[in-house]
Amino acid sequence: MAKLNDVMKEMIKGQQAWVATSGADGKASLAIKGSARIVDDEHIAFFELMGNRTWANVQKNPWVAIAVSDVSKFKGYRFEGNAEIITSGPLFDEAVKLATALKIPVPPKAAIKVKIEEIYDLGKAGKKVS
């Protein structure tokens, strides 16, 4: 079971996250998510506000990768795991609040909660750390 340490948590809080998904066709998709947040030591969440390719892909294939990096320090991490689609409750309410603040004209599709299964250190040639 992979767990976030304090260094990883700080990096997630301070950087944009890149979310990689793939659909039924096997084509990769990469999207930047400014809504990434730590749920607990084993989960990262992001909000699917617009419902485009990431949204379509995660519904068909729940395995996602989330990457964060601090380019000024040449450090980063990739977190991989299965996504859970959440459409009600406190985490989804956070998505609604953010969409409202950003004046997005449609309601968010979901909060996506990822159970971290694997962690890779991108500053060490992608070495698996957990």
* Structural domain of 30: 6-123
**99-119: string of b/e by CB count within 10 Å (b at 16+)?**
beeeeeeeebbbbbbbbbeeb
* pLDDT tens per residue across span 62-111: 999 999 998 888 899 999 999 999 999 999 999 999 999 999 888 899 99
Answer yes or no: is 130 within a domain.
no
Answer yes or no: is 129 within a domain.
no
Please tell me what DSSP assigns to residue 71.
Answer: T
Answer yes or no: is 96 within a domain.
yes
Please enumerate in sequence order all residues whose Cβ is within 8 A of that of 116, keeping only pairs 6 or more positions apart, or say none: 2, 3, 4, 42, 43, 44, 79, 80, 81
Answer yes or no: is 45 within a domain.
yes
Q: Which CATH number goes with the domain that contains 22?
A: 2.30.110.10
Answer yes or no: is 70 within a domain.
yes
How many independent structural domains does the chain possess?
Answer: 1
34 pLDDT more than 80: yes
Answer yes or no: is 85 within a domain.
yes
123 pLDDT more than 90: no
Cα–Cα distance for residue pair 126/114, rounded to 1 Å: 20
Answer yes or no: is 30 within a domain.
yes
pTM value is 0.92
What integer is the mean pLDDT of 2-30?
91
What integer is the mean pLDDT of 113-130?
90
User: To the nearest whole percent, how much of the chain has pLDDT over 70?
Assistant: 99
